[in-house]
Chain A
Amino acid sequence: MSRKPLSEGSEWTFPLIERYDREIARIAVEFGLDTYPNQIEVISSEQMMDAYSSVGMPVNYHHWSFGKHFLSIEQRYKRGQMGLAYEIVINSNPCIAYLMEENTMTMQALVLAHAAYGHNSFFKNNYLFRTWTNADAIIDYLIFAKNYIADCEQRYGELEVELILDSCHALMNYGVDRYKRPPRLSAREEKERQKAREEYLQSQINDLWRTLPVKPKARDDKKQERFPPEPQENLLYFIEKNAPLLEPWQREIVRIVRKIAQYFYPQRQTQVMNEGWATFWHYTILNRLYDEGLVTDGFMLEFLQTHTNVIYQPPYDSPHYTGINPYALGFAMMRDIRRICERPTEEDRRWFSDIAGSDWRQTLDFAMRNFKDESFIAQYLSPRLIRQMRLFAVLDDDRKRKLEVTAIHDDAGYRHVRQALADHYNLGSTEPDIQVYDVNIRGDRSLTLRHTQYHRRPLHKSVDEVLKHLARLWGFTVRLESVDEKGRVQRTYECKV
């Protein structure tokens, strides 16, 4: 079927973007992609840098760290060390995607397919996003947060607010519930309830620190009750609810940072999948456009060149090597799953008996909905792809003088390589496991955290700085015990107040 191409040159116009969007949407629907409505915003490169530096959010509160981020991006962009990301897409409903005005029509179409249909459908359907984020309310919540923090700055001074934010940012990665689903955000309720919460919380805190003598009965208990009774993984939540000296507005700021951290938590766990999914779909959709005769050869050449750059994976001994490229790995895996469905080999049938020969659309859709990077790789990385990428695992044990190659792309090594790679993306192993362990509520009110070591890995020396931040929030001495796998305390860090 040969039709007239949608456009010939590289210039884009609004009507052209509309026509491309209509065609891409049609194909996306044919493939069964389920998306939020799109809101496509055309912006300039300066605006892109702005968006980039406030972690991609259209509104955010003010903080110097965003300024730092902006300066470094601006510097690198101006010197041509990096191109700007072609796209930023926001997990919201409607899904907001930015197009840069400097891009050619080909790039705009690529971004449309990648962000507005690829990422968009991932945001809408992946279980982590469905569980942990609320796309309908995030923009509203950010506006609430921005106004609230601006208000605090007026009342209590920029510096005061900055100190709290600095400390919260240092603990941001420990401000998420990993296992418990948070209640949904709602900006309006948030604002209405904020005041009530403020008063209630303060009264609760005071109760915890009541100075009245304890009833004699309690003293008879052989075992003193520990507080908290169970270790707590969400440090910021614990501080918000229990730090003795924080003012109500400071608690609210802790809460804001915590909520935003929670919003980004799924993104940190689905990078490979999310990028792989979006890349797979822009590739598939644009190729379909080409097959239908809607785009020219020139369009395809430009697209393929960009696409190839995006999914390039330098080998380990290349000077450009900076680790595994999530676009490359994700795209290769998505394509590989389709291949296993459509043209399974004998080996695939042995390894993936459940999906070999099945309908690729349904299989991919299932994978996209129900996995995160770690489990996705553990489930779907095929021996064939391990061979293709020539993956090998290296063990670095500081007790041994040399590194050891533990597995390569051969029969004996597939499972090991796959497990080791999956482990790369397990936040539980890449981030130190640190939990609130004990508070000395009858004595000096000091807070004790426990770091449970993973494969004997010690903490980075930045731990002292982070403890200072924690102590600022807690208001009393903070201690951190590093515990090895047998439960023995190996090392103690302390920040006295």
Chain B
Amino acid sequence: MVPAGTQVLLTARVVTRIIDRRLNGKNKSAVNRRRFLRRFKAQIKKAVAESVSERSITDIDSGEQINIPARDISEPVFRHGPGGEREYVHPGNTDFVAGDKIRRPPAGGGSGGRRASNQGEGEDDFVFNLTREEFLEFFFDDLALPDLVKTQLAASVDFQKIRAGYTRDGVPANINVIRSLRGALARRIALRGPHLARLREAQAEVDALLREGRDDEIARQRAAQLEEEIRELRRRIKAIPFLDTFDLRYNHRVNVPKPTTQAVMFCLMDVSGSMDETRKDIAKRFFILLYLFLTRNYERIEVVYIRHHTTAKEVDEEEFFHSRETGGTVVSSALELMYDIIQQRYPTCDWNIYAAQASDGDNWNDDSPRCRELLIDKIMPLLQYYAYVEVTPDEHQRLWHEYLAVKEVCPHFAMQRIDGLEDIYPVFRELFRKQES
């Protein structure tokens, strides 16, 4: 148990050990934390749902502070309730004398009354923070997303190749000449070294023999031996290859996850009287999901909110979700406005354009064919993806049928009727499939 660095020292009478535990793991409570989240899944999910409806779409991708009522998670024990006789002692008396009567302070009121307890009867909320991962997990939970998609949403998926030094194998196109030759040179020097040294010695010995001018049998034999060795050494030196496969170095490239470029997301919503808060909430989840998907793929995302009844208007998020209007519905007005905005601000060469439309399917009947024409002729060619959700339990109206025609022509058009939250995902299925390929 005692890690390295333990220091033991002796004092007058007792032994004190001082141990540095900072290197030990610090997340000892992680298990208990996970168990807490699992145990109160229902309450936390409710809190997450509430916070989603208050949160901005672009703000979805972070942790969250969660409040759950303390009584839901209290640990009950036997204790005294209010009532009966009880006597308290308090400090700091200023002007009471024995026998004074004091009005009973209101229940739960702190001073003078009962001692405030830190886990008492108060209805305070239990507050804690979820990490981003935990928050998204709870958020996804309702939406019936497959696990694969969850991981995709929770992690970034796009890769970019970047240089990462050199490697020993690769394709010829990636050979790095300088590195390879430098390696070859080093190898040649290294392999030649011992031979050269020996060569110089042998040469010196031959020279010495010649200088001495001895001409006996032993000297001749020695000289011949040396000549032979010199020849052999020269041959060996020559045999060292100039460039060996061993020397080759290739430029190394690795995949690094990287969001690519920029995207704009259009949120279109019908705000005529028939879209109530529940429907708007479903629509909001749908927009959030699309937004999350886009954040995984693009570095920079702009969101444009367009709401419409008989006329369309570009608004900020607050107004988009929270103001209501009454009156008829002309969907084409929103499409036209979107087209104008694309033309003015988001040239397709610079922007990936996504659009999501939520509506209850109501439209002025003569307007629906016009919507189809607008989409097929003008808008769809500019878009990466267009998702339409119809939040209604009623019969489909004309707009739906016209949109079906659009879907036949344009593969990147998706539409879905939504009754509950779990219906949202199918709209994205196509989108994710495209991403995987």
Contacts and interface: CB of A to CB of B under 8 A. Distances in A.
B18 A21 contact: yes
Q: How large is the interface on B (under 10, 10 to 19, 20 to 34, 35 or more residues)?
A: 35 or more
Given A67-B34, A316-B93, A393-B89, A35 B14 contact: yes
Contacts of A322: 110, 115-116, 118
B433 interface: no
Contacts of A169: 75
Nearest to A397: B85
B92 interface: yes
A42 B18 CA distance: 8
A453 B78 CA distance: 13
A166 B22 CA distance: 32
B91 A315 contact: yes
Nearest to B26: A46
A36 B92 CA distance: 39
Contacts of A496: none
A83 to B, nearest CB: 16
Contacts of B218: none
Interface in A19-65: 21-22, 25-26, 29, 35-44, 46-47, 49-51, 53-54, 62-65
A313 to B, nearest CB: 6
Contact of B93 (A35, A40, A409): A409
| Chain A interface mostly | mixed
Nearest to B11: A25
Contacts of B102: 394, 402-405
Interface stretch (A239-247, A300-308, A412-420): A412-420
B20 interface: yes
A9 interface: no
B18 A389 contact: no
B437 interface: no
A463 interface: yes
A391 B77 contact: no
A406 B87 contact: yes
Contacts of A455: 84-86
A447 to B, nearest CB: 15
B381 interface: no
A360 interface: no
| Chain B interface mostly | loop
A413 B100 CA distance: 13
Contacts of B159: none
B240 interface: no
A66 interface: yes
Interface in A361-405: 389-398, 401-405
A460 B14 contact: no
A37 B15 contact: yes
B73 A391 contact: no
A430 B78 CA distance: 11
Interface in B106-125: 110-116, 118, 121
B93 A391 contact: yes
A218 B38 CA distance: 52
A456 interface: yes
A417 B103 CA distance: 21
A70 interface: yes
Interface in A427-470: 430-432, 434, 451, 453-463, 465-466, 469
Given A50-B27, A408-B96, A455-B85, 6 more contacts: A42-B20, A75-B127, A316-B111, A391-B90, A402-B104, A421-B89
23 contacts: A14-B18, A18-B16, A18-B18, A21-B11, A37-B16, A47-B24, A54-B32, A62-B32, A64-B32, A64-B39, A162-B39, A172-B77, A322-B116, A324-B90, A390-B94, A392-B89, A394-B102, A396-B87, A398-B83, A405-B102, A408-B98, A431-B80, A460-B79
Interface of A: 14, 17-18, 21-22, 25-26, 29, 35-44, 46-47, 49-51, 53-54, 62-68, 70-72, 74-75, 78, 94, 101, 116, 158, 162, 166, 169-174, 313-319, 321-324, 389-398, 401-410, 412-413, 417, 420-421, 423-424, 430-432, 434, 451, 453-463, 465-466, 469
